[in-house]
Amino acid sequence: MRNYFDFTGRVAIVTGGSRGLGLAMSKALAEQGATVIIASRKLENCEAAAREIAERGGRAVAVGAHLGKWADIERLVDIAYRDFGKVDIVVNNAGMSPLAASSADTSEALFDKVVDVNFKGPFHMTALCGSRMAAGSGGSIINITSIGSIRPRPDYGPYAGAKAALNAITVAHAFEFAPKVRVNAILPGSFRTDIAKHWPAEKETKIDSAIRRYGEPEEIVSTVLYLASDASSFTTGALIRVDGGRP
């Protein structure tokens, strides 16, 4: 039988890949045979994640990079192509979602930081990798946005706006780098990650989704594998919700 998720010989970059959803994605891609480049701001966290994958028999390398800084992104992509000669899969997962009491209380520094990591960084990563993929043998780029991009709320307005912009550029890049490169987005809902530990205990009981609970990090993996694989060869410019059925 055909293995739809065989990534043997493929190289993947996962930004924000050292913890939470990103770590689950990194592990899953490595388990299916991909060499995974784990990138985040804290190199030591990336190294720990790479060791964990290696202990499971997978292949992973760590690169410290601030995904809101274009110079760091350029260095990351250069390392990937220097060491492996190609990139087949990019998962733009790095992000941050700080809350603010109001728009008036949102500082310029905080606004810029949110936009840099959630939109400017993925834009540049896709521009660099997408153009090289299009000139080569193609590839798949997956943007991790948020259900907040289509269900915005005042306390995370800049984050919702940045993720909505990422939705829009997903479609634009899908056309720009077609037909050899596919660009899609996943819109996660609330997941039980490190961030969830800081949420009020009663939040999960009040969640307004059909499944009525948080998602587990592993529950986003199959969607990532589908979009990264040849099984989704006719899927591009798609915005796929993985949110437990939010209204």
Residues catalogued as catalytic = 159
E strand residue ranges, the chain: 11-15, 35-40, 59-64, 89-92, 139-144, 181-188, 239-242
Distances in Å between the alpha carbon of 49 and those of 16, 41, 65, 116, 205? 11, 13, 15, 24, 31
* Token duo for residue 21: 């959803």
Give the Å distances, CA to CA, from 40 to 23, 148, 177. 11, 23, 25
Can you tell me the distance from the alpha carbon of 183 to that of 188, in angstroms, rounded to the nearest whole number? 16
Residue 28 Cα to chain centre, angstroms: 13
**Which positions ≥6 away from 117 have C-beta within 8 Å?**
67, 68, 94, 95, 96
Q: What is the CA radius of gyration of the chain?
A: 17
Spacing of C-alpha 129 from chain mean position: 14
For residue 100, the tally of other CB atoms under 10 A from its CB is 18
